[in-house]
Amino acid sequence: MSAAPRSSSGAVPGFVPADVAVPADVPAVVHRPATHDVALGRERARQRRLLRLAAALAVAWVWLVVRAWQGRPQVPVFHVDPLLLTPVLFFVALIALLVGTQVGAGRSPHVLFRPEQVDVTLADVIGIDPIIEDVRRSIELFWTYRQFADLMGGSPRRGLLFEGLPGTGKTMTAKAMAAEAGVPFLYVSATSFQSMYYGATARKIRAYFRALRAAARREGGAIGFIEEIDAIAMRRGGLMSSASSPADLARGATPGPVRHAIISEGTGGVVNELLVQMQSFDTPVGAERFAAQWRELVNLFLPAHRRLRAHPGRRAPILLIAATNRADSLDPALLRPGRFDRRLTFPTPDARGRRALVDHFLARRAHEADLDAPAARDRVAAATNGWTPVMVEHLLDEALVNALRRGAAAMSFADVEHARITELVGIGHPVTYTEGEQRLIATHEAGHAVTAWLVAPRRTLEVLTIVKRGSALGMLAHDDGEEVYTHSSHDLRALVQIAMGGWAAEELFFGDTTTGPASDLAAATRTAAQMVGAAGMAGSLVSFEATGRDVVEAVLADTRARDRLEEVLDEARAVVRRLLAANRDLVEALRDALLERHELVGDEITDALDAALAARLAPAPSPGLRIA
Ligand SMILES: Nc1ncnc2c1ncn2[C@@H]1O[C@H](COP(=O)(O)OP(=O)(O)O)[C@@H](O)[C@H]1O
Ligand SMILES: [Mg+2]
């Protein structure tokens, strides 16, 4: 598609007079990538560059021809006295050092990626389709900025805020956007704006925006990206600083100075600079500024009605994207319309998204045939509920490491499971317990598992272990069998009962309890407090969440709520005691399996329980046989 320069009538490059009728080459439809405004701008810039190169080559050629014609050497030779050269060099080095430090401290810290250098596309961003849809719309708006601004009178979108957990693909999406839009991508990490020189942070910000404007002019558009913007754009200090919206006040936030002001210049100045610069996308640069200065000068001599009018600068299509995982701590002024007014929240992918991610990541990684089965992939997706994409990717990398350790060249499903369990419960520390202690821990964990199996058949039992991991002597890892977003009161009661299982088993088998269940009881108390003080599941409908205080704290401080909490816990204890007393054999079976193997994973737990149940229903013909 040809894209002829729109105006070659000797106008200052970069100027499009406002009163000129809209040229014919503005695309009539919104989506025509080859002729969008950005491509046209880039083509014009390319032709200007070619002209300049041709001119420079012509000058060099003339020089060479003239020198040859005069019969003089092509490169002039100077003779310098070495005695003079040494001091001159010394002073030049000194001045360069002084100036260089100053200039270096105020240089823009960005990294520039050209669209063809970026190796990701929007198609590589998986599992967050609604976000990608929104992003595509932003790109179309970016492409047709001139149509939008000049024909339709809109003010183009300037800022996008990406928020979401680390590893949900914010950086990747921004990069892919630049590649998709075909414009340079100026990546900068907010922390690299900080400097030890006073005022240098603001200077760096100005330099960054200058680079952004220059790149946009040069290439027809540019996308800037500020990583972890919260490092420099926290709420400013001073009056009404930290509670400036009614929502904040309702949440009980009190006005006061910023507590996280770790930047020496005070975040105020930096945020101000950022705000000012975000308004500066249309200010003239380079030749335009030069022309504006001359116009001012000429106007001084002209009568008022004859003065040259300032042309509105050509709008540079610049999109600034900022990423953060703490959008609520950003300065509200940054989020107002015209700045980062569009907020995209990157969620963790749902089961379908994770399945697509597993497919995507496995496509590049060596795996055995068992991982090609859709059922196996579905299981990996189901078992990574709540994980971010980068965690899923890391899981498969860990599985590859496991395969390598085994001496295999490709990972199998078992490697993935192994890696997931390590991710879930940490790496085991080999410690040797005394025999009595080991028995106690095994009984305790078996108590949890049997309770879980009996009261919450829908929960998946993942790992049951008596290998020490972190500070836990043993543990039962279990989770919702499927993706759920709410829990019923029955589910929560079951969680409290599962937490009580260890305590009840110790009491039942040893007649005494230890410090082992302390953390279980804390977990049970927290769950019960949610039921009592937040979810209206234990009689009263009062919610302590409305106070803005910690629910557990509030429930424990209120005598009536505390009584209700005690009731929930007592009831759970009674249920679990009864349950375990009636199923002693199951606890014993699981305990023995644990003592023997130390760690049971997934089906191994349920298999042991099923076997014990079968043995109960059809007792062995004679115990003597087994001994023999
Ligand atoms: N939605 C996704 N689809 C595919 N890969 C992803 C996705 N999100 C994250 N990743 C992987 O995780 C890595 C880190 O993502 P990144 O964009 O840096 O996350 P963030 O900036 O949100 O912290 C990427 O390089 C990519 O390999
Ligand atoms: Mg990032």
Mean predicted lDDT score pLDDT of the chain = 81
Q: What is the pLDDT of residues 352-385, one digit of tens each?
A: 999 999 999 999 898 888 888 888 888 888 888 8
The predicted structure's pLDDT at residue 493:
93
CATH class entry, domain 351-425: mainly alpha
Which ligand has the shortest distance to the CA of 389? Answer: 1
Please give the distance, rounded to the nearest whole angstrom, from the Cα atom of residue 109 to the centre of ligand 2: 17
Please give the distance, rounded to the nearest whole angstrom, from the Cα atom of residue 177 to the centre of ligand 2: 14
Structure tokens at 417: 């499971």
Please give the distance, rounded to the nearest whole angstrom, from the Cα atom of residue 189 to the centre of ligand 1: 16
Residue 414 · residue 486 · CB < 8 Å: no
Residue of the CA atom closest to atom 11 of ligand 1? 390
Amino acid letter for position 217: R
- Whether 351-425 and 433-626 share one fold: the answer is no
Q: Would you give the DSSP letter of residue 538?
A: B
Which ligand has the shortest distance to the CA of 226? Answer: 2
Q: For ligand 2, a single-atom ion, which residues have Cβ within 5 Å?
A: 170-171
CATH class entry, domain 433-626: mainly alpha
Please give the distance, rounded to the nearest whole angstrom, from the Cα atom of residue 170 to the centre of ligand 1: 7
Q: What is the pLDDT of residues 323-357, one digit of tens each?
A: 998 888 888 888 877 788 788 999 999 889 999 99
d(CA 369, CA 212): 49
Q: What is the pLDDT of residues 58-77, one digit of tens each?
A: 999 999 999 888 887 777 77
For a ligand 1 pocket test, name from 126, 134, 168, 172 the mutation site with the most ligand atoms within 8 angstroms of its C-beta: 172
Atom of ligand 1 nearest to the CA of 323: 21
Which ligand has the shortest distance to the CA of 227? Answer: 2
Residue of the CA atom closest to atom 12 of ligand 1? 390
Angstrom CA distances, 605 to 38, 235, 410, 584, 586, stand at 61, 51, 28, 16, 11
Residue of the CA atom closest to atom 7 of ligand 1? 169
Per-state percent for the chain, helix, strand, coil, to nearest 5: 55, 10, 35
The predicted structure's pLDDT at residue 506:
94
Please give the distance, rounded to the nearest whole angstrom, from the Cα atom of residue 200 to the centre of ligand 2: 24
Interval 412-426 mean pLDDT? 84
- Whether pLDDT at 244 is above 60: no
Please give the distance, rounded to the nearest whole angstrom, from the Cα atom of residue 516 to the centre of ligand 2: 40
3-class DSSP state for residue 517? coil
Domain positions in the chain: 351-425, 433-626
Structure tokens at 27: 């695309």
The predicted structure's pLDDT at residue 18:
39
Please give the distance, rounded to the nearest whole angstrom, from the Cα atom of residue 391 to the centre of ligand 1: 9
Q: What is the pLDDT of residues 435-474, one digit of tens each?
A: 888 999 999 999 999 999 999 988 888 888 888 877 778 8
Please give the distance, rounded to the nearest whole angstrom, from the Cα atom of residue 267 to the centre of ligand 2: 22
Atom of ligand 1 nearest to the CA of 166: 23
The predicted structure's pLDDT at residue 323:
92
Which ligand has the shortest distance to the CA of 163? Answer: 1
- Whether pLDDT at 249 is above 60: no
d(CA 446, CA 474): 10
- Whether pLDDT at 420 is above 70: yes
Side-chain half-sphere CA neighbours of 152 within 13 A: 15
- Whether pLDDT at 288 is above 80: no
- Residue ranges around ligand 1 (CB below 6 Å): 124-128, 164, 166-172, 323, 357, 389-390, 393
How far does Cα 474 stand from its chain's mean position? 33
For a ligand 1 pocket test, name from 131, 160, 390, 391 the mutation site with the most ligand atoms within 8 angstroms of its C-beta: 390
Which ligand has the shortest distance to the CA of 162? Answer: 1
Q: Which residue is associated with the tokens 């009584």?
A: 563
Please give the distance, rounded to the nearest whole angstrom, from the Cα atom of residue 166 to the centre of ligand 1: 8
d(CA 580, CA 249): 49
3-class DSSP state for residue 411? strand
Interval 184-209 mean pLDDT? 85
Residue of the CA atom closest to atom 25 of ligand 1? 172
Q: pTM surpassing 0.75?
A: no
Q: What is the pLDDT of residues 154-195, one digit of tens each?
A: 777 788 999 999 999 999 999 999 888 888 999 999 888 887
Q: What is the pLDDT of residues 16-51, one digit of tens each?
A: 333 434 444 444 334 444 567 788 888 888 898 899
> Which of 141-155, 278-292, 515-529 shows the lowest mean pLDDT across its residues?
278-292
